[in-house]
Amino acid sequence: MEIAIIGEYSPQFEPHQKTNDAVRHSANALGIEVVPRWISTSTLTEQIRVDYPAFWIAPGSPYQDMQATLDLIRFCRTESIPCFGTCGGFQHMVIEYARNILGLADAEHAEYDPYASRLIVSRLACSLVGREMEITLAHGSKTAQIYQKEKTHEHYYCNFGVNPSYAETLSGGAFRRVGSDSEGEIRVMEIYGHPFYIGTLYVPQARSTFDQPHPLVTAFIVAAKKNKNS
């Protein structure tokens, strides 16, 4: 089985290498062969939506084609296709939701336009690159069920996150906040009834090992396999 990893692949960027490794760790634990196929946002086509059973929106923004990325995320959200967004991927899931569901057509990401009037994703007051922090997961959430616990420590590579000014606006719909740090900032969002639609500001693949694959990555691959076989 192949899964699509959406982003501008760079072998020098550690999270990209860890993404490939995490897929292999989980695939090995599941006893299946999974090949991660990196696809640049500049080459996204409608055919890609047919060719792959699941999409991982990878770290490493800004992407070459933001709109094409948002269109793919919307497709996954509306067509119940497994979608996993980590770091920059999560941030774009938030932008897509704000624009297409919350009606905030001018929702913007500060990495693309730092002077936009409606920055849904803004530069963090304090960079999280290289930091590890505790996350509290909402009781009963799909994410907590995957972890089988409500507290976890995760690693970050990001300088951008959900603008706290829009946290309340974002929290009222189907794409809901299910993970927060000690300061109450949004770190995980999900659509509960979706086969797999989870975004994390942290990079879970950074904590995956051969002996202990990351549970979110494993759950994503399981969802991909179910979709492929459906």
- For the stretch 139-192, pLDDT in tens is 999 999 999 999 999 999 888 999 999 999 987 789 999 999 988 899 999 999
186-191 and 197-200 as β-strands: parallel, antiparallel, unpaired?
Answer: antiparallel
Q: Which CATH code is given to the segment(s) 2-229?
A: 3.40.50.880
Q: Are 108 and 77 in contact (CB under 8 A)?
A: no
Residue 43 has pLDDT above 90, yes or no: yes
d(CA 76, CA 174): 14
The whole-number pLDDT of residue 194 equals: 97
Q: Return the domain boundaries, the chain.
A: 2-229
pLDDT grade, residue 6 (50/70/90)? very high
Q: Are 49 and 74 in contact (CB under 8 A)?
A: no
Contacts of 175-179 with C-beta under 8 Å, sequence gap 24+, read 175/77, 175/93, 175/94, 175/97, 175/101, 177/138, 178/137, 178/138, 178/141, 178/142, 178/143, 178/144, 179/135, 179/136, 179/137, 179/138, 179/141, 179/143
What tens digit of pLDDT does each residue of 64-117 get?
Answer: 999 999 999 999 999 999 999 999 999 999 999 999 999 999 999 999 999 999
Name which of 126-135, 155-164, 197-206 the model is least confident about: 126-135
